Amino acid sequence: SRFVSSQLLNTVSKNGKQFSTSAKNKARVAVAGASGGIGQPLSLLLKQSPLVSELSLYDIVHAPGVAADLSHIETKAKVTGYNGNEQMADAFKNVDIVVIPAGVPRKPGMTRDDLFNTNASIVASIVKAVGENSPKAFIAIISNPVNSTVPIAAEVLKKLGVYDPKRLFGVTTLDIVRANTFIAEAKGLDPATTHVPVIGGHSGVTIIPVISQAKPSVSFPQPELDKLTVRIQEAGTEVVKAKAGAGSATLSMAYAGAKFTFSLAKALHGESNVQEISYIESDVVPGVKYFSSPIILGKNGVEKNLGLGTLSDFEKKLLETAIPELQKNIKKGEEFVAKS
Ligand code: NAI
């Protein structure tokens, strides 16, 4: 059966704080690209969580090793590794959530769109296997370029006849995590309780920080606002440069990916008012088919799109700049599937 038991599991954590989690309130999560720079620390964070009952690790290399390693950690989640194409179907059978950080990352000088040729087919093949084996699963896509890989996933699922726009998510959480951190630093706030929405897409000018809606409320002189906005938009490139050829953000992305996955798991099991920001099929900006904005999650995925809220004139200009780029990225993804 889908859920092992509804029996209460009482757990005492190492710091002595007691919490209980119902066994049925646990999600079976698959990670595709589990052996990678993001996949490994993401899987580690998921293995540590009481929200996860099973962890299915898929990659084209090293998945059994990563799984064996993580399986020794003293938490309940059962970890299984699946290696290569022949095991892909099994990896995605009976799962509730699939997180996809499979594919190549950027090297200095590259844009996210430069990854399209390699990652488009990787994402398409994984999503096809998910659609065939767990058509109801929530799918969270980390692989870049997110602006295009989400439309690719949607088109692949449409071909299979199992597309549900409420269950497909592009993970932009790292942009929000970065905005929270940078704005908190600039104002001497606690980053953990600073909330800065970031909307639009996940590359360069399509990343739209909405600092006017930050909580707590903050304000900056225009030159500083310009600088902070560009820093949030280019934060990924900051890491790519610092890593000097060794890849892009992996640890902060694993943190952000786990945070988003936990929200999906909570919503799936009936927690109310779970709020996130994600790149999804959307009608909040006319003519832009996929757009990231604040959403409420529920058992069936996206329950409500909270839209853009009130934007400042500066943010409206950022949106104007983002629109044609987003449209181009979305079209490129859709055409890739139409041609293949
Ligand atoms: P990585 O190269 O360290 O790991 C990628 C993993 O994917 C490798 O283990 C590789 O074997 C695996 N892989 C390749 N083809 C596969 C296939 N067909 N099926 C299953 N697994 C496959 O790369 P990293 O640093 O983990 O980045 C992964 C992706 O995440 C990149 O596309 C990167 O651009 C993206 N990314 C997205 C962010 C976001 O905010 N959404 C932030 C940072 C990175």
Ligand 1, atom nearest to 171 Cα: 41
* Pocket lining for ligand 1, CB < 6 angstroms: 32-33, 35-39, 58-61, 101-106, 115, 119, 122, 125-126, 142-144, 146, 171, 174, 202, 247-250, 253
Q: Looking at residue 24, what is its pLDDT?
A: 63
Q: Ligand 1 centroid vs 183 CA: distance in angstroms?
A: 28
Cis peptide before 216 (omega within 30 of 0): yes
254 among annotated binding-site residues: no
Among the listed residues 62, 72, 195, 202, the single catalytic one is 202
Which tokens in the block code for residue 190? 């606690």
Give the helix/strand (H/E) hosting 243: helix 235-243
Q: Read off φ and ψ for residue 277, nearest 5 degrees.
A: -125, 130
Nearest to 270, CA basis, from 60, 81, 3, 57 = 3
Cα 311 from Cα 47, distance rounded (Å):
39
The letter for the amino acid at 170 is G
Higher-confidence residue of 83 and 340: namely 83
Contact indicator for 88, 124 with CB cutoff of 8 Å: no
Summary mean pLDDT of the chain: 93
Task: Name the residue of 243, 253, 329 whose CB sits within 8 Å of the most ligand 1 atoms, as the mutation to test its pocket.
Answer: 253
Which tokens in the block code for residue 78? 């059962």
pTM of the predicted structure, to 2 decimals: 0.94
Q: For the chain, what is the radius of gyration of the CA atoms?
A: 19
Cα 98 from Cα 249, distance rounded (Å):
20
Task: Name the residue of 38, 239, 280 whose CB sits within 8 Å of the most ligand 1 atoms, as the mutation to test its pocket.
Answer: 38
Contact indicator for 320, 141 with CB cutoff of 8 Å: no
% pLDDT > 90, the chain: 92
Nearest to 264, CA basis, from 142, 151, 154 = 142
Cα 261 from Cα 276, distance rounded (Å):
10
- In three-state secondary structure terms, 130 is helix
Ligand 1, atom nearest to 61 Cα: 11
Q: ipTM more than 0.95? A: yes
Which is it for strands 52-59 and 138-141: parallel, antiparallel or unpaired? unpaired
Contact indicator for 112, 237 with CB cutoff of 8 Å: no
Q: Looking at residue 338, what is its pLDDT?
A: 97
- pLDDT greater than 50 at residue 23: no
Nearest to 267, CA basis, from 304, 296, 229, 288 = 296
Ligand 1, atom nearest to 58 Cα: 20
Residue whose Cα lies nearest atom 5 of ligand 1: it is 36
Nearest to 279, CA basis, from 269, 271, 289, 268 = 289
- pLDDT bin (cut points 50, 70, 90) of residue 26 is confident
- pLDDT greater than 60 at residue 14: no
Assign residue 8 a region (left: φ > 0; alpha: ψ between -120 and 50; beta: otherwise). beta
Active site annotation includes 202: yes
Beta strands in the chain (DSSP E): 8-12, 18-22, 27-32, 52-59, 78-83, 97-100, 138-141, 168-170, 198-200, 207-209, 274-281, 290-298, 301-305
Q: Ligand 1 centroid vs 23 CA: distance in angstroms?
A: 31
Residues 173-210 pLDDT 10s: 999 999 999 999 999 999 999 999 999 999 999 999 99
Residues 276-325 pLDDT 10s: 999 999 999 999 999 999 999 999 999 999 999 999 999 999 999 999 99
Write down the residue that tokens 């694993």 correspond to. Answer: 254
Which is it for strands 274-281 and 290-298: parallel, antiparallel or unpaired? antiparallel
- pLDDT greater than 60 at residue 239: yes
Cα 216 from Cα 194, distance rounded (Å):
6
**C-alpha dihedral sign at 123, 125, 128, 133:** negative
Cα 235 from Cα 227, distance rounded (Å):
12
Q: Looking at residue 167, what is its pLDDT?
A: 98
Residues sharing a CB contact under 8 Å with residue 50, sequence separation 6 or more, in sequence order: 9, 11, 19, 21, 26, 75, 76
